[in-house]
Amino acid sequence: MRTACFIPIKSNSERVPGKNFRLLNGKKLYEHICEHVKEADVFDDIYIDTNSDEIRLYAARQGFMVIERKEELAKNTANGNDLLLHHLESYPNYDYYFQVFATAPYLQPQTIRCCFGKLIASSEYDSCFTVTKNYGFFWLNGNPVNYRPEILPRTQDMAPVLEESTGLYGISREALKRYRCRIGRRPYMHPVSKFEAVDINTEEDLKIAEYMGKVHWGEHA
């Protein structure tokens, strides 16, 4: 059995210029997830998909392999499914494909190990991804999703609404080929804390992540 982890890190960003290269708690954003994947020490191969000279040099120093980002996949219209399917087509001989993102800097090595172990150790699951549990009153298109307004439950008694944290995805080769999607039909959903679920897409996200990191590392010093 062979496994690979793919880390997309492009040079351009529309909402936050130079996002992947911004400093977060003393390190460039992309360094956090790369260090955590390396520390997890579970993948046979680790690839960085990039169009940046800086990232290419960094990958070489870390012992990662480099995928040259295709021009059409560097556009903001490309998504995680597009990237992982491209990686499947380029490297079709892995049994499991994992995808993590620089924008999830606080995803921890132990979480990576747990998701990896759950997926490959059991035929019950064909894929996995990280989630947060949300307890609250949710609405969609003018209608309540998970409660009746005339009967207000206590939030602690409600079933949580699970939200993808977009931190980690993993899937078997067979499911990826069949469904053409990074999530199969029998996924394992791994809950993570709000800290691990930090996802950086805006300047405000960066400021919040900086603060959360200082609080977290301060508590664990």
For each of the domains in the chain, give its residue range(s) and CATH number, in order of start: 3-132+163-219 (3.90.550.10)
Pairing of strands 45-50, 139-140: unpaired
Whole-number pLDDT of residue 219 = 61
161-219 residue pLDDT tens: 999 999 999 999 999 999 999 999 999 999 999 999 999 999 999 999 999 999 887 76
**Over residues 13-19, mean pLDDT:** 82
Q: Which residue, 198, 192, 200, 191, is CA-closest to 212?
A: 198
The yes-or-no verdict on residue 140 having pLDDT over 60 is: yes
Instruction: State yes or no: pLDDT of 221 exceeds 60.
Output: no
pLDDT, residue 220, reads: 58
Q: What is the mean pLDDT of the chain?
A: 94
Distances (CA, A) of 6 to 10, 110, 153: 13, 18, 42
Per-residue pLDDT, 48? 98
Nearest-angstrom CA–CA distance, 19 and 200 = 8
What average pLDDT does this structure show over 9-21?
Answer: 86
- Residue the block writes with tokens 């956090």: 32
* In the chain, % of residues over pLDDT 70: 99
Q: What is the pLDDT of residue 115?
A: 98
Q: What is the pLDDT of residues 104-115, one digit of tens each?
A: 999 999 999 999
Task: Give the whole-angstrom CA distance, residue 89 versus residue 36.
Answer: 26
